[in-house]
Amino acid sequence: MGCDDPSRGTNAIQTFTAMNPDSPAIFRQSTSVGCQVSQHGWWLLCLLLWGSSGCKESRHGPLSYALTTRNGDTEVMITMCERDAKEVEIPSNLDGYPVTQIWDGAFNACTQLTQITIPEGVVRVGEGAFMACPSLKSIAFPQTTTSIGGAAFMNCSRLEAVTIPNLEVHLGPETFRGCHALKQVRVAQRYHAKSELHRLGLKGRFAEVFESPRSIPQ
């Protein structure tokens, strides 16, 4: 998980556990590992995820990122963002390689973030990636995004609209918990079921916010 000081990860663990005591252990583990990485070096994360392939941490404006190699392909993962960032545009390429992932908690507790642009090519958005970003009002993902992790927008209290055009996207548990201002989420029809509303943290009272991607004006 990305965090620019140790307290961000600790707070994230406490918040998620308190609101959802049955949360998957993997989220708590990834949160803890990420903060250790920011303190002790990216070699630990590389060792856990990519073995001997290695990676390096670099900077681009308010963003930190890791250049990684997996199965012979080099790609970029956004690992964290400065907490006081307000408008952020993630580039589609960094160091000549495609940006494909936003790591767990990368934008966690960026309390002043009002706008985020995510480029085509981003496939995975990690758990708690935008958790506790109270100034964020809308977010749109590209067609290439196929996975959005649990608690990705937890406690984004002013978030009103989320656009997810990919019909095959996987949404993790508690994705929208605490998003009390949410008015519109554009996702596939299979997420409209009451059971899915509960799983995503919507408790059924936001059923009207769901809209099929096919109804989006071209």
CATH architecture of 6-159: Alpha-Beta Horseshoe (3.80)
Q: DSSP characters for 159-208?
A: --EEE---TT-EE-TTTTTT-TT--EEE--GGGGSHHHHHHTT-TTTTGG
Tokens (6 digits) for 203: 């408790």
The answer to whether 61 and 91 have CB atoms below 8 angstroms apart is: no
Residue 14 pLDDT > 80: no
Residue 40 pLDDT > 90: no
Global pTM value: 0.73
Closest CA to 11 of 143, 128, 157, 137: 128
Q: What are 191-208's pLDDT values in tens digits?
A: 777 788 889 887 655 545
Q: Please, which residues bridge with residue 53 across strands?
A: none
* Whole-number average pLDDT of the chain: 75
Q: What are 52-87's pLDDT values in tens digits?
A: 444 567 999 999 999 887 788 999 999 999 999 999
The answer to whether 109 and 8 have CB atoms below 8 angstroms apart is: yes
